[in-house]
Chains A and B, each alone.
Chain A
Amino acid sequence: MSLLAITSPHMNKSNTRGVGFVMTQVILATVPGILAMTWFFGWGTLINIGFALLVALISEALVLKLRKRPVGFYLKDGSAIVTALLLALAIPPLAPWWLTLVGVAFAIIVAKHMYGGMGFNPFNPAMVAYALLLVSFPVDMTQWVLPETAPSFIGTFQHIFGLGVTFDGMTSATPLDAFKHSSNQTLDELFMNTPALMAETLVAWQTVSICFLIGGVYLLARRIYTWHAPVGMLGSLAVMALIFSLYDADTYAPLTFHLLTGATMLGAFFIITDPVTSATSTKGRFIFGIGVGILVYIIRAFGNYPDAVAFAVLLMNFAAPFIDQYSQPRTYGHRKARKGLPKKKD
């Protein structure tokens, strides 16, 4: 009989709620959104996801091997899968295969592992990759297939991988992009005339957004993360949109447009809730979310890019360590919360 000397606690629930469990829940929560996207925008989303996962697993395994880390141990945590999944959901369904390849490989190899791998990367890998693709290939990244005009599975597959005849006409700008580049029309004219802003298209986008919202609520219910970051982001974005649309309803898009198009919901429940790159305390996460919401609105309304979640998240990633220092909770028995870092002695 050999009795082990192990320090307390001797119990934990990580066997049932480990990192793998957390990642599985996140993946599960994206299912409604994936289904909605497939429904409206065709097979492209699923093909992209499949291809992205393949690239992600291969890149992850490769880098782990290079870094002499246990490959199986790290692949099991599912973080690479989540990164690839989120990126695949963010890029256009009919995006060419190399776009996915470049994005996912960059996310895993550079944005994640070059910064130290799981738990150490300061920037959200999916968003780093998205920003890279958007800056490098703006046309491919903003051409979105119109709802219910997508080709068949085979056709989509051929289109993505460039195996057959490519087809035009069915893609158009995203609603946000369309809105951005139509400043000489009134809002009513805009919503009447632009294909990307017609009722059908908007309904598709809104449905997808609501599906992501449902997935997020599920994760909240499973206590995978707290409400602070999503509520902060959606709240601040709503307040900004409300203020500006009330100020000038003809120039600024309405509240629902901001909340239910583009990557708002995906960002609020799947991107900024990434614990690694976000602030750490609940208070900090709330501040983080607010920051993202404000930045999203500012970039959308006044910036050059149609959608802004990626840039807003990256900018707030920069600020996260700073937020951490000023958002410490008040510890039991202390009158005030500590702020900043310890003062250097002499």
Chain B
Amino acid sequence: MSQAIKLWDIHGGIHPAENKSQSNQQPIRVLPLPKKLYLPLQQHIGNPAELTVNVGDRVLKGQRLAEANGFISASLHAPTSGTIVSIEPRQIPHSSGLTAETIIIETDGKEEWCEREVIKDYLHTDPMALLGHIRNHGITGMGGAGFPTSVKLTPKDDDHIDTLVINGAECEPYITSDQLLMRERADQVIDGISVLGQILKPKRCIIGVEDNKMDAVKALRESVEAHPKTLPFEVKVAAIPTKYPSGGEKQLIQILTGKEVPHGSIPADLGIVCQNVGTVAAVAKAVLEGEPLISRITTVTGDAVSDRGNFETLIGTPIQDLLSHCGVDDSKLFRLIMGGPMMGFTLHSTDLPVIKTTNCILAATEQEFPNPAQAQDCIRCGMCAEACPAELLPQQLYWFSRSKEFEKAKHFNLFDCIECGACSFVCPSHIPLVQHFRFAKGGIRQEEQAHIKSEHAKMRFEARQERLAKEEAEKEARRKARAEAAAKAKAEKEAKAKLEADQVTETASQPTGSSVEDDKKAAIAAAVARAKSKKATSTPDSGVDVKALKVASSQARAAHLKAKRALDAAKEAGELSAEQLAEQEAEVSKLQTAYEASKAKLDAAKNGNSTPSAEQATAPAVDVKALKVASSQARAAYLKAQRAYDAAKEEGSEPEEAFNAQLKEIESLQAAFEKAKAALDNAKSGKGAVSPVAPAAQTKDATDPAQTLENKYKQLKVETSQARAAAKQAQKAVDEANEQGKDSEQLKALETVLAEAVQSYEKLNAKKLVLQEKVKLRKAAAASSDANNAEVTAAESTPAKRETSKAAPTETTANTEDPAQKVKELKVAASQSKAAWRKLERELTKAQEAGEDTSELEQQVSAAKTTYEQANEAKTKAMAALDS
């Protein structure tokens, strides 16, 4: 075996006084069985183990007390037989003084073993089975932090392990437990390497031992030579120069292989697995003897104990027992350290137990480890940087840590600090550098936590904003779509109306043989007439120009006649479809109405301005109160005139002519009164009228185009509903026919009827809708003028009654139904009907679930649904109308 092993050097490093001779002179001794053992569930890195026993249970040596909880965890076993007297949270040996659930076993001294599982033929055992065995036996790293060994032996799939590094460097001063192990139990270490070789299948294995332990090196080399069969790979024992911290995993790998574990990687990424000699020996024990990790070799040293040495100690042994056994002088004990003087941590009490990672108990006197001197200012001498094995600049990190410039500290690779303490060791200014670095690391971790938290909050906030924006955009899009649809509908409507008008003029032009221009003229005339008549009716000013009215009237008449002629001609020609005819008829009647209205106006104007109220009364939606006032005024005037006439008649003083004039006046007054009364009645009935008969009755009286439109609309509505009923009946008939299995001819006939009915209904409905829009618009326009009119009337009638008349406009507005208001109402109605429908649906579901009879409910639901749909339709239309 070639012993010329190439070694590399690490940067920095220190040579503290070794202080190993105090404890490595005697062989490993066994500590007497303690009365009680304290076994924390958390002795390793990872999740605490999960209890599998209860208080009061009697447990056997090697029996599992708690099992690994999760991948990174380790199980725990009873170090000896005894009874579990308590399971309680107790302080554990940890630098932060944490507490953990601790099993307390009262030992019975019988050392009764449980059944052990031994794998003698491990070289022919599946690596996974071996891993499971190691895991079940609670093996953790015994040199440092206590990382579960099975995890470390399970490299990632793509990491092939090339080199197995066994760490026997034991570079910390004072500690000799590994040295004694290697010296006395080298075979166990080599067996463990053999087991690990079976699991990892490495090409080679290097055991690194500092050259201040040549006895251990010798023992290992002899053992390697004695085990040629179980080591199917090259095993070398390397004596490395004594220098702290060569026992650090990364440092040892660098020394033995020349490779650096890249920042953020683990050795397995380089094809290297590093295990402590103690861990390897524990693996051998577990596999070959079936003994879980229930004891370890612990060095007890320091000037405060008289009998220093290494002890095979059961896990859970109270440190006080160890110290007492070694003759501790309590008066001298000044600093109690678990681990070595460079990286170990102080214990606050001797009650704490030995755990799986306790390689050394250092009971130091004040002379040995005096209190740290007062730190001086950093003089940037750079000795720390020279000592740093990670090649950091501790002096810079110190500045940044002190001033909490964590970003800079991170930039100067603070997190590559392994806290070996070499910098603090060499600092001439007594600055506890490692402490500063721990502080900075903690601070950075805290900041990162806070940052993650705030990032999370920010993300949530942004997501919310995004969602809201999206919703808003969708809303906007919907609104736009609606507006577009409405605009489209309007455009279509206009196009249709134009088409109608064109058709009218076309048909009108045909029989007379006149040019298109004439048609246009007629159309214009009709429009002008409409406008004029409308103006005339809507502005019943006392000074209405009779002449203008006359012109408008004659124009309207001409238009009407022309249209009528055209219609007749068309009828005669029979060219037009029924629908077109109907439309033309409607147009003609519209024109007629317009003409009549303008004529009436003209008449009224001719009759004089004495009865503006009567004129006013013809307005369909005039305020009832105003009408009443007007009516009573008219009546009063009439009665007064009558009385005067009667008186005059009795006296006989008046001449005949005067009598006649008076009589005429009375008559006209009476007529005015009657007209006002009729208007009043009309208004009253119109207000309450829901039946389609009322508007029909009104049609004749109506002189306003809006009124005409409305009446027409109502008529259409009736017709539509009739058509609908017919269609329904037809449908019913078809259905019945279908059910009864009538012959196809009959069915066909019925279907034709149905189709016709449906068609006619649809046509009517379309017309109705078009008209509906018109009516609404007219109403909206009329509402304002009506309100004005009412006010004017009231003002003219009696100043004293101004108060009542002032309230009129609002009422008028309410009566004439503001489109926006209507939309709102419709909306409410729609949502109400929807709610009702949903409620019913829910009830239905409930009932269905309960298994009740649901036929009635189902009907109700469908009815409610229909209601809602209708309401919704109405709402949508109204909204479209409003938008347009």
Assembly CA distance A19 to B425 (angstroms)? 13
Asked if B389 is at the interface (CB within 8 A of a chain A CB), the reply is: yes
Assembly CA distance A226 to B383 (angstroms)? 9
Q: Contacts A118-B376, A341-B408 given: A4-B393 contact, CB under 8 Å? A: no
Asked if A329 contacts B393 (CB within 8 A), the reply is: yes
The interface bits of chain B over 352-369 (1 if a CB of A lies within 8 angstroms of the residue's CB, else 0) are 000000000000100001
* 8 Å CB contact of B371 from A1, A4, A329: A4
The interface bits of chain B over 135-163 (1 if a CB of A lies within 8 angstroms of the residue's CB, else 0) are 00000000000000000000000000000
Question: A72 CB to closest chain B CB, in angstroms?
Answer: 12
Asked if A3 contacts B335 (CB within 8 A), the reply is: yes
Q: Contacts A3-B335, A119-B379 given: A280-B395 contact, CB under 8 Å? A: yes
Assembly CA distance A7 to B372 (angstroms)? 10
Asked if B46 is at the interface (CB within 8 A of a chain A CB), the reply is: no
Q: Contacts A12-B427, A14-B430 given: A7-B435 contact, CB under 8 Å? A: yes
Asked if A171 is at the interface (CB within 8 A of a chain B CB), the reply is: no
Asked if A8 contacts B421 (CB within 8 A), the reply is: yes
Q: Contacts A333-B262, A334-B413 given: A14-B428 contact, CB under 8 Å? A: yes
Question: B660 CB to closest chain A CB, in angstroms?
Answer: 103
Asked if B380 is at the interface (CB within 8 A of a chain A CB), the reply is: yes
Q: Contacts A7-B95, A342-B408 given: A333-B260 contact, CB under 8 Å? A: yes
The interface bits of chain B over 320-364 (1 if a CB of A lies within 8 angstroms of the residue's CB, else 0) are 000000000011011111010111111111100000000000001
Chain B residues 405-433 with CB under 8 Å of chain A are: 407-408, 410-413, 416, 419-422, 424-430, 432
Chain A residues 300-346 with CB under 8 Å of chain B are: 324, 328-335, 338, 341-342
Question: B534 CB to closest chain A CB, in angstroms?
Answer: 68
Asked if B333 contacts A9 (CB within 8 A), the reply is: no
Asked if B341 contacts A9 (CB within 8 A), the reply is: yes
Asked if B330 contacts A11 (CB within 8 A), the reply is: no
List chain B residues, Cβ under 8 A from A77.
Answer: 376
Q: Contacts A332-B391, A334-B416 given: A8-B382 contact, CB under 8 Å? A: no
Asked if A21 contacts B346 (CB within 8 A), the reply is: no
Asked if A8 contacts B379 (CB within 8 A), the reply is: no
List chain B residues, Cβ under 8 A from A18.
Answer: 373, 376, 428-430
Asked if A10 contacts B430 (CB within 8 A), the reply is: no
* 8 Å CB contact of B369 from A5, A10, A14, A329: A10
Asked if B191 is at the interface (CB within 8 A of a chain A CB), the reply is: no
Q: Contacts A3-B349, A11-B173, A14-B373 given: A280-B425 contact, CB under 8 Å? A: no
| Candidate in A1, A4, A7 with the most chain B CB atoms within 10 angstroms | A7
Q: Contacts A1-B330, A3-B333, A14-B430 given: A329-B425 contact, CB under 8 Å? A: no
Asked if A163 is at the interface (CB within 8 A of a chain B CB), the reply is: no
Assembly CA distance A5 to B348 (angstroms)? 7
Asked if B434 contacts A7 (CB within 8 A), the reply is: yes
List chain A residues, Cβ under 8 A from B376.
Answer: 18-19, 73, 77, 118-119
Asked if B396 is at the interface (CB within 8 A of a chain A CB), the reply is: yes
* 8 Å CB contact of B377 from A1, A118, A333: A118
Asked if B378 contacts A331 (CB within 8 A), the reply is: no
Assembly CA distance A294 to B863 (angstroms)? 102
Asked if A8 contacts B342 (CB within 8 A), the reply is: yes
Asked if B379 contacts A328 (CB within 8 A), the reply is: no
Asked if B11 is at the interface (CB within 8 A of a chain A CB), the reply is: yes
Asked if A117 is at the interface (CB within 8 A of a chain B CB), the reply is: yes
Asked if A275 is at the interface (CB within 8 A of a chain B CB), the reply is: yes
Asked if A207 is at the interface (CB within 8 A of a chain B CB), the reply is: no
Asked if B587 is at the interface (CB within 8 A of a chain A CB), the reply is: no
| Candidate in A14, A19, A281 with the most chain B CB atoms within 10 angstroms | A14
* 8 Å CB contact of A14 from B16, B262, B335, B429: B429
Asked if B385 contacts A14 (CB within 8 A), the reply is: no
Asked if B390 is at the interface (CB within 8 A of a chain A CB), the reply is: yes
List chain B residues, Cβ under 8 A from A329.
Answer: 385, 391-393
Assembly CA distance A184 to B642 (angstroms)? 149
Assembly CA distance A4 to B420 (angstroms)? 20
* 8 Å CB contact of A12 from B339, B385, B391, B426: B426
Asked if A281 contacts B393 (CB within 8 A), the reply is: yes
Asked if B333 contacts A12 (CB within 8 A), the reply is: no
Q: Contacts A4-B371, A281-B382, A338-B412 given: A11-B393 contact, CB under 8 Å? A: no
The interface bits of chain A over 199-228 (1 if a CB of B lies within 8 angstroms of the residue's CB, else 0) are 000000000000000000000000001100
Chief secondary structure at chain B's binding surface: loop
Asked if A332 contacts B390 (CB within 8 A), the reply is: yes
Asked if B348 contacts A3 (CB within 8 A), the reply is: yes
Q: Contacts A12-B430, A331-B392, A332-B250 given: A276-B379 contact, CB under 8 Å? A: yes
Asked if B421 contacts A328 (CB within 8 A), the reply is: no
The interface bits of chain A over 124-147 (1 if a CB of B lies within 8 angstroms of the residue's CB, else 0) are 000000000000000000000000
Asked if B393 contacts A12 (CB within 8 A), the reply is: no
Asked if A3 contacts B336 (CB within 8 A), the reply is: yes
Closest B residue, CB atoms, query A224: B381
Assembly CA distance A11 to B339 (angstroms)? 13
Q: Contacts A8-B341, A8-B419, A118-B377 given: A342-B410 contact, CB under 8 Å? A: yes
Assembly CA distance A276 to B430 (angstroms)? 16
* 8 Å CB contact of A9 from B331, B378, B421: B421
Asked if A154 is at the interface (CB within 8 A of a chain B CB), the reply is: no
Question: B350 CB to closest chain A CB, in angstroms?
Answer: 8
Asked if B170 is at the interface (CB within 8 A of a chain A CB), the reply is: no
Asked if B428 contacts A22 (CB within 8 A), the reply is: yes
The interface bits of chain B over 244-278 (1 if a CB of A lies within 8 angstroms of the residue's CB, else 0) are 00000010001000001111110000000000000
Asked if B333 contacts A1 (CB within 8 A), the reply is: yes
Asked if B386 is at the interface (CB within 8 A of a chain A CB), the reply is: yes
Assembly CA distance A101 to B416 (angstroms)? 49
Q: Contacts A3-B346, A22-B381 given: A13-B335 contact, CB under 8 Å? A: no
Asked if B438 is at the interface (CB within 8 A of a chain A CB), the reply is: yes
Asked if B607 is at the interface (CB within 8 A of a chain A CB), the reply is: no
Assembly CA distance A292 to B813 (angstroms)? 97
Assembly CA distance A332 to B422 (angstroms)? 15
Asked if B377 contacts A117 (CB within 8 A), the reply is: yes
* 8 Å CB contact of B341 from A11, A118, A226: A11
Assembly CA distance A7 to B836 (angstroms)? 74
Asked if B374 is at the interface (CB within 8 A of a chain A CB), the reply is: yes
Asked if A68 is at the interface (CB within 8 A of a chain B CB), the reply is: no
Assembly CA distance A106 to B392 (angstroms)? 36
Asked if B381 contacts A275 (CB within 8 A), the reply is: yes
Assembly CA distance A338 to B369 (angstroms)? 37
Closest B residue, CB atoms, query A77: B376
* 8 Å CB contact of A3 from B347, B380, B385: B347
* 8 Å CB contact of A280 from B333, B334, B385: B385
Asked if B347 contacts A226 (CB within 8 A), the reply is: no
Asked if A333 contacts B250 (CB within 8 A), the reply is: yes
List chain A residues, Cβ under 8 A from B390.
Answer: 331-333
Assembly CA distance A221 to B107 (angstroms)? 60
List chain B residues, Cβ under 8 A from A281.
Answer: 382, 385, 393
List chain A residues, Cβ under 8 A from B337.
Answer: 10
Asked if A342 contacts B411 (CB within 8 A), the reply is: yes
List chain B residues, Cβ under 8 A from A119.
Answer: 376-380, 429
Assembly CA distance A12 to B411 (angstroms)? 27
Closest A residue, CB atoms, query B374: A73
List chain A residues, Cβ under 8 A from B395.
Answer: 280
List chain B residues, Cβ under 8 A from A226.
Answer: 382, 386
Assembly CA distance A331 to B388 (angstroms)? 10
> With A8-B345, A10-B335, A10-B342 given, can you name 19 additional A-B contacts, CB distance below 8 Å?
A7-B432, A9-B421, A10-B344, A11-B425, A12-B427, A14-B373, A14-B430, A17-B428, A21-B428, A119-B378, A226-B382, A278-B380, A280-B380, A329-B391, A331-B390, A333-B262, A334-B416, A341-B411, A342-B411
Interface residues of A (CB under 8 A from B): 1, 3-15, 17-19, 21-22, 73, 77, 79, 117-120, 225-226, 275-276, 278, 280-282, 285, 324, 328-335, 338, 341-342
In the A-B complex, the 9 residue pairs with the smallest Cβ-Cβ separation, listed nearest first, are A9-B421, A119-B377, A342-B411, A333-B263, A275-B381, A332-B390, A10-B341, A331-B413, A9-B342
Q: List 7 A-B contacts (CB under 8 A).
A: A7-B435, A10-B364, A18-B429, A118-B379, A119-B379, A330-B391, A333-B265
